[in-house]
Amino acid sequence: MLHKLEVAVSILLATGLAVNGAVVLNCARDVDSANDEMCNRPVHSTTTPPIPLPTSTCNSTATPTPYQTINFSNTSWIWTGENPTAGGANPIGLRSFRKNVSTPCENDKCARCATIIAAVDNDYQLYVNGLSVGNGSGWDLAGVHYVPLREQDNVFAFAGINVPPGGPAGFVAKILVHYSDGSTDSIGTDETWRTLPRDTSALSWTSPNFDDSAWGRAKSQGPTANGASLWGAPKLPPALSLADARWIWTSDVNVGDATAPVGTRFFRTTHNVNGTKRAVCATAVIDAYVS
């Protein structure tokens, strides 16, 4: 029996870039939800600026593993607690949230990169190790961000903004840390996150060197599950866009042919990273069509 089968692949590659003798990272991502039945509006697309990275001490290269899904399970919406009533009205303005994550490099297991999903009522700006890596708005549809990490100690900082005329305010995020041995860890928003109940715009609070020990703890506005919060669980965007990918097959099938020979066909691609960069990690999304 003859079939027609085509394959499309989209790959996100995070790389390191050497600039003026320092090793930094650069990672780009594109999320296109135009064809996603879960939503009718685009999500934010951002390019991650360089993130400083110390000299590598990890001898292991990342182990390829099946894509691990990420969702908002075991997370809570959080805010500053200025209003002690969960889901209650809060002052307008910017509020800061920080999470320090230490992952010691042991037995060639080192942090490589992270997948981050986040939503907010109303706007947010995301910082990793002091640099802005993305932004988003709205509580009903999450934004997704792919960022390279330092191998051991990383600081995730979110600026949440409650815009006029004010009202309820909440922020939720899940961070999936990918390690060089193929394993992962997840960190969700909860009451262990640090925050201040005032505008911190004048402080260098996004820096990994900033001392947040005097900050208070975030206050839960309710879990994402079971309708226990005002906002519930945000919808998830696609993992990666296929907008720039092209359907391909072997040369024995012409464009427009209705059928293709049965059997297995193999496809390979090599991405050469130039001398000023080193690959950190990659995410690949593959789709296949059979008719």
pLDDT band at 7 (very low <50, low <70, confident <90, very high): low
The average pLDDT across 135-164 equals: 94
Q: Are strands 167-168 and 89-90 parallel, antiparallel or unpaired?
A: antiparallel
What is the distance between the terminal CA atoms of the chain, rounded to a whole angstrom? 11
Cis peptide bond N-terminal to 165, omega within 30: yes
Residue 25 pLDDT class (50, 70, 90 cuts): very low
Find the radius of gyration of the CA atoms of the chain: 21
Q: In what order do the strands lie in the sheet with 47-52?
A: 47-52, 22-28, 5-19, 277-290
Residue of higher predicted confidence among 59 and 184: 184
The two three-digit tokens of residue 272, written as one number:
């050469």
Per-residue pLDDT, 95: 96
Q: What is the pLDDT of residue 108?
A: 79
Residue type, 212: D
Q: What is the pLDDT of residue 3?
A: 44
Q: What's the pLDDT at 232?
A: 94
Q: Model's pTM, two decimal places?
A: 0.78
Is there a contact between 26 and 48 (Cβ–Cβ < 8 Å)?
yes
Enter the DSSP assignment of 211: -
Q: Which domains does the chain have, with CATH numbers?
A: 5-290 (2.60.120.260)
Average pLDDT score over residue span 265-269: 87
Q: Cα–chain-centroid distance for residue 117? A: 5
Give, as one character, the DSSP assignment of residue 185. Answer: E
Q: Kindly write down the DSSP assignment for every residue of 55-101, as one continuous string.
A: PP---PPPPP-PPPP---TT-EEEE--SSSSTT-EE-SEEEEEEEEE
